[in-house]
Amino acid sequence: AARRLVPFHLRPASARPLAAVAAAPHSRKRDAVSCKSTGKTRAKNKAKDTTMWRPQRRELEEHLKRRTRSAGAFDPGLYRRHSHSHHVPVLLGEVLAAFRRPLPLRSFVDCTLGAAGHSLAMMEAHPEMELHVGMDVDPSALEIGQRHIEAFLASRATEEGGEDALQGTLRAYTHVKNFKYIKHVLGGVDESLADGSSGVDGILIDLGMSSMQVNRSDRGFSVLNDGPLDMRMDPK
């Protein structure tokens, strides 16, 4: 059965309880001195931290670029937004270029949703999208992708002024299914998508295993670590 992703509002990260920001009484003179001293120290520490982190940041970006498997120009901002600890979406720039606007993408199917890196980038690049269907045969990977999509929809709902406005523009569904059942899945969402009367604007299939299977020895795919020989995408 299709699972509708219902956006929800997240508490802004900057929000803090009022009790946490209440200042303790102090001497005005002492406060002025400590503020002056703290300001100078912070400035020095900030400059020192920036110098220390630059080489590490470059090293991380080079590592991230290698994982993208892309020969194109590397966009660190794009990958920071859509990569996660679970997975780095490969060839993301090339995928976005293949569906480049002004090509309308009102309906989109990601047959190998995974952590939803490609799907989130497509949603961001195509605000006209009205329907998204995500499929994956690996239920644990689909659960990760589903959480990322929910968070993205919630943030968009907040920016656009309410949940109701967003629900009218983008419907998102996820299915634990092999992509060979795409016609059946689309028919369950909307019959017109499967019978040929409307169809969909775009389909993406990113074939093969991912780091979400290979990096976990208990999944039985890894050749890097000891573990049971399993290799089932769906443990059931």
The residue ranges of every structural domain in the chain are 89-219
Residue whose structure tokens are 């003179």: 29
**How would you classify residue 51: left for phi > 0, otherwise alpha for psi between -120 and 50, otherwise beta?**
alpha
| Strand pairing report for 171-176 and 3-4 | antiparallel
Tokens 């992708």 correspond to 145
> What pLDDT does residue 48 have?
52
CA dist 67 and 134 (Å) reads 23
> What is the tens place of the pLDDT at every residue in 48-82?
555 545 667 777 677 677 777 777 776 777 767 77
The pLDDT tens digits of the residues spanning 24-37 come to 344 334 333 333 33
CA distance linking residue 173 with residue 149, whole number of Å: 10
pLDDT at 199: 87
Give the Cα separation of 233 and 90 in Å (integer). 19
**Is residue 13 scored above 90 in pLDDT?**
no
Of the two residues 56 and 142, the one the predictor is more confident about is: 142
Query: For the domain 89-219, what is the CATH code?
Result: 3.40.50.150
Q: Edge-to-edge, what's the strand order for the sheet holding 171-176?
A: 3-4, 171-176, 131-136, 107-110, 202-204
Range from 49-63, 103-117, 139-153, 168-182 carrying the lowest mean pLDDT? 49-63
How far apart CA 207 and CA 214 sit, in angstroms, is: 14
The C-alpha R_g of the chain, in whole angstroms, comes to 23
